[in-house]
Structure 1
Amino acid sequence: MRLSLCCGFLFLLPTLLFGADLPRTYLVKGAERFSPEQQQKLTQWLDFGVTQTARVFGDYPFTMELHLNPRQSRQPVPWANTWRAGVQSIHLYVDSRFSLQHFINDWTLYHELSHLALPYLGDRHAWFAEGFASFMQYQIMHRAGLLQQSPAQWYMDKLGPHRRWYKSDYSVTEVANRLLTQGKYPAAYWGSAWFFVMADEQLVKQKGIRLTTLIANYQHCCRLQDNTLKQVLTSLDTLSDTDLFTQLYQKFTQNPARNVLPVSID
């Protein structure tokens, strides 16, 4: 069901269609900048992305705004970012000449939607937020049947070319933050994503649950209450009945990176 609003469209995705407990709502803005045919393609893509994200995290406890902006490029989504003040928003710059399948196969929407599973943590902890979204984008794509190999192999492949930056006596967070200031974003993102690779492995070993399950539970209890990284870590420790998130944070912020990330990537 689509309801026309003054500035966009409010989508209510029916429970019957997607099997969720509650309808998921999100507001699309900027659709009027595209032709009717392009609007249909882009809204199908957004529907798919929101639905697949909800399969992993459940429904977010808020209404999202998804902003569409036209931009010609050599890829479907050359740029996107989240706006976190007030309404939780994603701004997507899209080249509507690409096919629906190209949009669905692109990682960007899943990455940005993953950001919204956690509160805004500030520039100081951008490494944590970007590592989280980078880890989760492939969890969502795997659940959607879009990956040709396992998420674990993707993480190894992505980190491999950047491993050299982390052969350092500085901590992972110090290295990642320096890489961010230098504009070496993939290196920063995938080094930081290893926090969540390790968290997932330890959760399975200690509790028999996956990190995605924990984050889905987090939406119900804590997403709208937490405002700092310390609060997020405490909530995740409490939900998992462990101290592994606090311990991992100490390891990533205090130990030499060379002793934290894999020694080699085959």
Structure 2
Amino acid sequence: MNRIVVLLLLLVPGLAAAAREPAQYTLRYDAASRVMRVSLCLDRAAARQRFAGDATAPDHVRDLSRSSGASLQRDGDGWNARDWRAGECLRWHADLGRIADANAHRSSLRASETITDPGGWLLMASGIEAADASVELPAGIAMSAPWTPLPSPDATRRYRIVHTPTDWLARLAIGHLSETTIERPGGRLHVAIGGKSDVAQRARLLAWLGRVSDAATTAYGRLPLADVQVLVIPVGAQREAVVFGQSTRGQGNGLSLFVDPSRDARAFERDWIAVHELSHLFHPHLGARGAWLAEGLATYLQNVLRARAGLLTPAQAWAELADGFARGRAATPRDRAPTLEHASLAMETDHGYGRVYWSGTAYWLVVDLELRRSSGGRLGVDEALRRFDACCLAKQDWTPQAFVERLDALLGTDVFARRWHEYRGLAQFPDIPALDDPADAAVRAAIMRAKDRSDAKSKAKD
């Protein structure tokens, strides 16, 4: 080995890890039994190697063994392997059908595919940040995962799996899925449509997703992430075209959309959920404490980006925001209300969605207005997100405070952190600036107007 390379490996800690071959998963799925057989091979030796998934993994993993024949020791929600050998493999299988059926019983939304959270059965090795996976599927069976696709010389599917905290949700679907890739500046949406929708329904769904992805690019000219899983799950006849959506961060970036594919194109045009979920791609994972920031940004952008893309008129977008603020204020307790940050932490148990979402939306609107007024229109929320995308979005572990402070640093302002300190401690719904003030007419028009694409391209090179 070149002496310079040896010195670099010794002196730069990260380089030594990067020089190793990544951990290697092999996954083989049996459609008849709905069982996934997995092996995980590591090229490095270790005195003690730990393997774990999320808290449910011990209930889902079966027939766990080492290729060397050595023993494993159970340790809480994982297993320890002593004297792990370089090149050794861990092997197990998981009954995905049983896991998916158990999950389905707890939901009112039914799907024909086998859908699981891989955190519950895909064990990860401690000390490994990412791994490559090869997946073998029976003929006629497809898979949708949040993992990044890699080139493959044959029919075997290959992916890069990023290891994320085990409590971050992910969705993996296996079944008779229809697959399409939607290419847009900055990234690709890997779309998988489940169910038995006919050709016309699939065409309608893809046309709708194309318009939705176009809307996302109006933030600053491109998608913020290179590869995004989009899982479209038909759930039968519903009152709305899209009944539920969810963005996920586990093992990659994904979103799930539960739809009634029989609805006509006009019903899908009225949907806001898909743009909302795509808007979550513009910020990092912020946890429960930062849910008001995350949901507020997605709610703000779901209206702004639809107006920019022509899915709403600017007047309709402002009316949607005004109506949402009224509902958020009505959902905020008048007496002894917790702070917004505490309401955010308790949102899932207290169902305080209206207050949390719309208080957060008010934050982003107030920040956007202040930035645009003080900079003569040069700066705004979308410019801050563009710069954050360029430097920092790929980093996983952002606290809410670190996130807003970095946005300020990128723009040379203090508005994000100053307003964050103010809003997180609010015990009531925030004051909303007048949405019809003539003095702000030009600023409001600029918020709802998409920037010229050539301008966006030039800024992307900054």
For Structure 1 versus Structure 2, the TM-score category normalised by the shorter chain is: 0.7 to 0.9
| Unpaired stretches in structure 2, ≥5 consecutive residues | 1-140, 144-177, 437-462
SS at match of 2:328: helix
1:30 aligns with 2:193: yes
1:67 aligns with 2:235: no
Deviations 1:38-71 (A, max 9, x none): 1111111111111210122422232000001111
Partner of 1:233: 404
Partner of 2:43: none
Contact kept, 8 Å, 2:288 with 2:345, in 1: the verdict is: no
Q: How far off is 1:124 after superposition?
A: 2.3
RMSD over equivalenced CA pairs, Å? 2.7
Partner of 2:274: 109
Q: How far off is 1:185 after superposition?
A: 2.0
1:40 aligns with 2:188: no
Partner of 2:419: 248
Q: How far off is 1:193 after superposition?
A: 1.0
Return 243-252 or 202-211, whichever deviates more: 202-211
Identity of aligned residues (%): 22
What's the TM-score, normalizing by structure 2? 0.51
Deviations 1:140-180 (A, max 9, x none): 11101222415444322211133242656743333455555
Contact kept, 8 Å, 1:127 with 1:177, in 2: the verdict is: no
Distance 1:179 1:168, change over 3 A: farther
Return 248-257 or 163-172, whichever deviates more: 163-172
Q: How far off is 1:31 after superposition?
A: 4.2
Partner of 2:353: 185
Aligned length in residues:
255
Partner of 1:96: 261
1:158 aligns with 2:290: no
d(CA) in 2 for partners of 1:168, 1:205: 34
Distance 1:155 1:173, change over 3 A: farther
Partner of 2:17: none
Structure 1's consecutive aligned runs of 4 or more residues displaced over 4 angstroms after TM superposition are: 166-170, 175-180, 263-266
Q: State the one-letter code of the partner of 2:205.
A: L
1:81 aligns with 2:246: yes
d(CA) in 2 for partners of 1:67, 1:218: 26
d(CA) in 2 for partners of 1:203, 1:234: 15
What's the TM-score, normalizing by structure 1? 0.84
SS at match of 1:34: coil
Q: How far off is 1:92 after superposition?
A: 0.6
Contact kept, 8 Å, 2:343 with 2:352, in 1: the verdict is: no
Partner of 1:213: 383
Partner of 1:129: 294
Deviations 1:14-54 (A, max 9, x none): 7xxxxx4x5x3111123464222211111111111112101
Contact kept, 8 Å, 1:77 with 1:108, in 2: the verdict is: yes
Higher relative contact order (CA closer than 8 Å, sequence separation 6+): 1
Structure with the larger helix share: 1
SS at match of 2:387: helix
1:13 to 175, 178, 183: 183
Partner of 2:311: 146
Partner of 1:198: 366
Question: Which structure is larger by alpha-carbon Rg, 1 or 2?
Answer: 2
Deviations 1:83-129 (A, max 9, x none): 11112111110001111232122100000000111111112221211
Distance 1:124 1:175, change over 3 A: closer
| Unpaired stretches in structure 1, ≥5 consecutive residues | 15-19
Q: How far off is 1:264 after superposition?
A: 9.6
Partner of 1:173: 341
Return 206-215 or 102-111, whichever deviates more: 206-215
